[in-house]
């Protein structure tokens, strides 16, 4: 049972344009969401997070949007840069107790120069 899903395994975007990565979840108990970026043979790097009391969080070129009613979140990268090419994982958890995070299946982003 995949509680966190990223339905697009890959995405190609031109440099300078917007990249939009999507994530859906099924567990209504999740109240904390994160995006990680991963290069091959490296550990995931934390990008940005959002708690369920917000619907938007921005950090530089990265913005995460949360739609609780649709159980959907998205990561916007503007403008996209070739160095953004990586696999992006959406993750979800609950803030109470220990942060047992469930990862999505990942989306491979390619930014074309």
Partner 1 sequence: DTEVTQTPKHLVMGMTNKKSLKCEQHMGHRAMYWYKQKAKKPPELMFVYSYEKLSINESVPSRFSPECPNSSLLNLHLHALQPEDSALYLCASSGMIAGGADTQYFGPGTRLTVL
Q: Provide the phi-psi class of 89: left if phi over 0, else alpha when psi is between -120 and 50, else beta.
A: beta
> E-assigned strands of 2-98?
4-5, 10-14, 19-25, 32-38, 45-51, 56-59, 62-67, 72-77, 86-93
Choice from 55, 67, 99, 112 touching partner 1 (CB under 8 A): 99
Q: Which stretch binds partner 1 (CB under 8 A): 19-27, 58-66, 74-82, 97-105?
A: 97-105
Interface with partner 1 includes 111 (CB under 8 A)?
no
Choice from 27, 49, 52, 57 touching partner 1 (CB under 8 A): 49
* Residue with Cβ nearer partner 1 (17 or 72): 72
Site for partner 1, rule CB under 8 A? 4, 34, 36, 41-46, 49, 89, 94-101, 103-106
């Amino acid at each position: 049972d995949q509680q966190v899903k990223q339905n697009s395994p890959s995405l190609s975007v031109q440099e300078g344009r917007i990249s939009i990565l999507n994530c859906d979840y099924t567990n209504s108990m999740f109240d904390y969401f994160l995006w990680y970026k991963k290069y091959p043979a490296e550990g995931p790097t934390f990008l940005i997070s959002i708690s369920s009391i917000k619907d938007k969080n921005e950090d530089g070129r990265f913005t995460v949007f949360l739609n609780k009613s649709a159980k959907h979140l998205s990561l916007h990268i503007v403008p996209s840069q070739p160095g953004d090419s990586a696999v992006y994982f959406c993750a979800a958890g609950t803030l109470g107790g220990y942060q047992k995070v469930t990862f999505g299946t990942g989306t491979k982003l390619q930014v074309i120069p």
